[in-house]
Chains A and B, each alone.
Chain A
Amino acid sequence: MTMVSTKYAARSVGRNLRRTILSIVGIAIGCVLALFMESLNRGRGELFARAGSASGVGHLRIVPDTWRGRRDSRLRLADWRADFAAAQAVPGVASVTARARAQVLLAVGTHVVPVELAGVQPDVEPRTFRYVQAIARGRYLRAGETGALVAGRAIADRLSADLDDEIVATTVGPRGEIQSALFHLVGIVSTGSDDTDMAVCQVALEDLQRLTGFPGAGEVSIVLNDYREIDRVRARLVQSVARGDDVMTLSELAPDVEGHFKQDTAVTRFVSGIILLIVLLGVASAQLAAVLERRREFAVLAALGMSGSKMVWLIVQEALMLGGGGALVAVAAGLPLVWKLAHTGLDFTRYLGGSYAFQGVLFDPVVYGDFGWWIVAYVSAVALGATLLASLYPAWYAARTDPAVALRVAQ
């Protein structure tokens, strides 16, 4: 009897093509919408990881292990070159950059500004720190040059300094002695915000070492090709860094960013639930409408002797076929759509209002979706799940059909 009901179900589906197509299209549209939403949701992780890495934090950072407890800029890595090499050796790493920091007083004449000066590697730094990718005036540091300084516009203004001016930097060395060095301003960065400007102040790593007397680098920042590998890479790297050094992830370094991401995800998952519910409602009501109209048909079947449970099975099979068809269409239509979303992304620049300044935000306001094999599983689950759930009531309804209905002419 199973084979018969399957054949009947198949033929029923095939016979009323319009109803079938309508159902499949309805299911497919719902699934694609839910899929789009889910892809966006998964893509948010990428957004926040990008924010973290573009801001200079990096996906991972090798730090002295005492730095966790007390974030003192005077701390240095136990063996920064070994750590650097270890980072470069890990597969999946997009860029590695070493830095050292110091609390420094910059002075031009009587104008003074206290800043946190960063000693960086000029050839790699722009890849991990967004704000020095586009210098407003002058140029960025060049590998191999000494005595050059790049600063935010707010710093230059407070110092009353212009390009090529000489600036005295003073700091306190390891033995408490005061040390100074001369730098000339080669580039000015304009981030659009005074506070952010004050955080941009860079010289070459070697220059900072010479100025402070603290040897080596204090941090090695790592940007990965795939942000999802953060924890895996951390586990691996922890084994190979020098003793006395530790590896921290973006979440640990910037719990703020991580927190916002989690909160946003939590609420958007809730919203995804809403969309799925809506899809389910749509599919269910359409299916139910279809079934309700087939009372005569079911009555005839009942009159012919089909049992209730077999009727249920029939409906379920039809649902599965419709769901499967809907899933196929959804995958066919959804894959290219999500692929485009993952590669081109949604660019919100135009919608952000006139006051939006390109460099004022930490990351490009482009949201990339996620693309992967999960799509097939997700769509199938939604389509089949929705149609099966949707077929529960219709199945029960069909099973209860009174054969006498078949004998009536009017409804």
Chain B
Amino acid sequence: MRASLPTTWRIAWRNLWRNPRRTTLALAAIGLSVTLVLLYDGILRWEADYIVDTITGPMLGHVQAHAPEWRRTRAMDKTIAGVSRAIDALRRDPDVAGVDARVYAPALAASGEEGFAVMVVGVDMAEATRPSRLLEGLQTPLGGRRVLMGRLLAEQMGVKQGAEVAIVGQGIDGSLANDLFTVAALIDTSVDFVNRQAIVMPLGDARELFAMGDEVHELVIYARDPARAGPLAARLAGAPELAGAEVVDWKTAAPGLNDLVELVSVMWVFVLVLVFVAAAAGVANTALMSTFERTHEFGMLLALGTAPSRIVGMIVVESLALGATGALLGTALGGAVVGWLYYAGFDYAKFTGGGPTSLSAFGVTFTMIIRPRLASIDIVRVVMAVMATAVLASAWPALRAARLQPARALRE
């Protein structure tokens, strides 16, 4: 007589808790494995987002717009005109999170008699000081001919904060651009070129210095969803406010960086596979071990007249229940850990005992605060994997046990 399914589950659950120590152990093992896998998943997502964010945040942005010839020639007079209208329109776009506007002008700078070749970069200060942007967190008040200088450039020039610097260049109409400025602060940005060569000033000041009107060299657009930078670039290329401009996404603008990001991502996914296999191996080993150790018990049941198929069924259901419960516990714990770390931020530097708190890579600096996050697919994936592993791993010994002669099984 076949028992109904709910009965089987009730029996399975009761069986589990007949041996609380064993069950607790298995639950702990499975749960902790799941927690660790989720933690890795969370870090993986953070790393991918983070690298893209750090690379695109300061200089590249997600989408860039220029006058058609500007990227090739970097000529001063190749500008996007009528930008204030364009920027307003872009900021109203629902997919756009922010818009920065830039002026790049090569110039001569001198604090004493010696002139140095520099690049004057005019930026929208309100945008550039937002988080993960070029001047993140900068609070130095500017305006009134106060500028920022890259620290390495300042060292080369022998310039300290508060020094007066002359900047000479060519205006967009060919006229001589020259004025005196005060170095309000030395900056260490995450972009090597800025630290080595740039004097950064508010966009308005740069435009005035170089006799520019309502025009800029570069519009840097930040997307709400960085993963959709490509489609956004394609859409904005057709937008009326950017008519005539060349619009590209960051991967087109910096293909080398993109290649690197992809390589690193692929390697991390490979490691995810390793992590999964390790967890599965652990779960399988545990399930196998427990089941084999219960052969005596199965012998008893067989001797008492239980059908072998029911024994197998019971074991499978037990494993399912075990796997599911363990996975759920692990998910709860893992989710909690990831959630806490996401808000608190895991300061890896402190964890490793004062390692580097920020590092440079390919012209960009990374800080070492990890904020993992999870997507539902990560959880579903782990839970499915764990349950499948637990069931498969206990099926074999169960089948074996079921085929045993009761007397032999009893002897084990």
Task: Please report which residues of chain A, range 243-300, place their CB below 8 angstroms from some CB of chain B when the two chains form the complex.
Answer: 255-264, 266-268, 270-271, 274-275, 277-279, 281-290, 292-294
Q: Are A292 and B271 in contact (CB under 8 A)?
A: no
- What residues on B are CB-neighbors of A348 within 8 Å? 263, 266-267, 270
Q: How far is the CA of A89 from the CA of B192 in the complex (A)?
A: 35
In the complex, which residues of chain B have a beta carbon less than 8 angstroms from the beta carbon of A352?
Answer: 259, 262-263, 266
A120 within 8 Å of B (CB atoms)? no
Instruction: Decide if A305 is an interface residue (CB 8 Å cutoff).
Output: no
Q: In the complex, are the beta carbons of B281 and A26 less than 8 A apart? A: yes
B262 near A33 with CB under 8 A, answer no
B21 A36 Cβ-Cβ under 8 A: no
B7 at interface by CB-CB < 8 Å: no
The stretch that binds A, out of B209-217, B287-295, B312-320, is: B287-295
Which residues of the partner chain B approach A232 to less than 8 Å between Cβ atoms? none
**Chain B, residue nearest A37 (CB):** B274
> With A and B bound together, what is the CA distance between A275 and B279 in angstroms?
8
Which of A170-178, A189-197, A332-340 lies at the interface with chain B? A189-197
Give CA–CA (A263, B358) in the complex, Å: 8
Q: Decide if A182 is an interface residue (CB 8 Å cutoff).
A: no
Interface contacts (Cβ under 8 Å), in number, total 197
- 0/1 interface trace, chain B 19-51, chain A, CB 8 Å (1 if under): 101100110110011001101100100010000
A94: B residues at CB distance < 8 A: none
Please name all residues of chain B whose beta carbon is closer than 8 Å to the beta carbon of A158 when the two chains form the complex: 72-73
Contacts of A324 in B (CB 8 A): none
Inter-chain contact A282/B29, CB cutoff 8 Å: yes
Does A360 make an interface contact (CB < 8 A)?
Answer: yes
> What is the CA–CA distance of A18 and B254 in the complex, to the nearest angstrom?
57
Complex alpha-carbon distance, A23 and B281, angstroms: 11
* Stretch in B88-96, B127-135, B171-179, B360-368 touching the partner: B360-368
Q: Are A286 and B43 in contact (CB under 8 A)?
A: no
Interface string of A158-169 (1 = CB under 8 A from B): 100000000000
Contact with A along B222-264 (1 / 0, CB 8 A): 0000000000000000000000000000010011101110111
B33–A194 touching, CB < 8 Å? no
Q: Within the complex, what minimum Cβ distance (angstroms) separates B329 from chain A?
A: 13
Identity of the chain A residue whose Cβ is nearest the Cβ of B286 in the assembled complex: A285
Interface residue? B348 (CB, 8 A): yes
CB pair B263 A365 closer than 8 Å: yes
- A396 interface residue, CB < 8 Å from B? no
A29 B281 Cβ-Cβ under 8 A: yes
A residues less than 8 Å from B297 (CB atoms) = 411
User: A267 to B289, alpha carbons, bound, how many Å?
Assistant: 33
> For the complex, is A30 an interface residue (Cβ under 8 Å from B)?
yes
The answer to whether A19 and B289 have CB atoms under 8 Å apart is yes
- Asked, given contacts A260-B359, A263-B361, A290-B289, whether A270 binds B255 with beta carbons under 8 Å apart, the answer is no
Report the minimal beta-carbon distance from A267 to chain B, rounded to whole angstroms. 7
16 contacts between A and B (CB under 8 A): A25-B285, A26-B281, A158-B73, A193-B255, A195-B254, A259-B361, A260-B366, A275-B274, A278-B33, A281-B33, A282-B279, A284-B29, A285-B28, A289-B22, A351-B266, A365-B259
| 20 extra A-B contacts, CB within 8 A, seeds A279-B282, A281-B36, A282-B286 | A19-B293, A23-B285, A26-B288, A36-B274, A256-B361, A259-B360, A260-B360, A261-B361, A263-B368, A278-B282, A284-B29, A285-B285, A289-B22, A290-B289, A292-B25, A293-B294, A348-B270, A355-B251, A356-B259, A360-B255
